[in-house]
Amino acid sequence: MDNRRTAEVFGDIARLLELRGDNAFTVRAYRLAAITIEELPSDLGRMLEEGRDLAELPGIGKAIAKKIGEMVDTGDLQYYQRLRAEFPEEIVELMRVPGMGPKTAGRLWKEYGITSVSALHQALEDGTLSTLPGLGRNTIANVRRALSSTGERA
């Protein structure tokens, strides 16, 4: 399990916790852990092999360090899998679209049933997205641009 993938998982956890409405401090802890992991100059696996205490890294507490260890050892994180099971399968990919943070994705899911990037495309095409209160033209244009820059059609 490489640092990039581990950081991605911890970023996803932060987004899912925010979507669920968890405590802002917990969300921030996972977000900070993702940033710290992504910016590490050393491989997490190697650090653990060397006996380094990951809880000594900035933004990494004991509980998160233990979860990192599980990811490095098994290539997976049960906590992440349980958390993902609480939401529609593709919602994580939807939240990764620039301009589609957890709050916006949550509103799209709850108010319009949009839970995937393909459903987001459809909502852009048929104008549904423009009917969501609080979602302005600039945000819609940014989402459209983000999708087209990743090779997705919008």
pLDDT digits (tens, 9 = 90+) for 49-89: 999 999 999 989 999 999 999 999 999 999 999 999 999 98
What pLDDT, on a 0 to 100 scale, did the predictor assign at position 109? 92
pLDDT at 154 over 80: no
Domains of the chain, each with CATH number or no CATH: 3-84 (1.10.150.110), 91-149 (1.10.150.20)
What are all long-range contacts of 66-73, with beta carbons under 8 Å and residues at least 24 apart? 67/10, 68/6, 68/33, 68/37, 68/44, 71/1, 71/6, 71/9, 71/44, 72/1, 72/6, 72/44, 72/45, 72/48
pLDDT digits (tens, 9 = 90+) for 110-145: 988 999 999 999 999 998 888 888 888 888 888 888
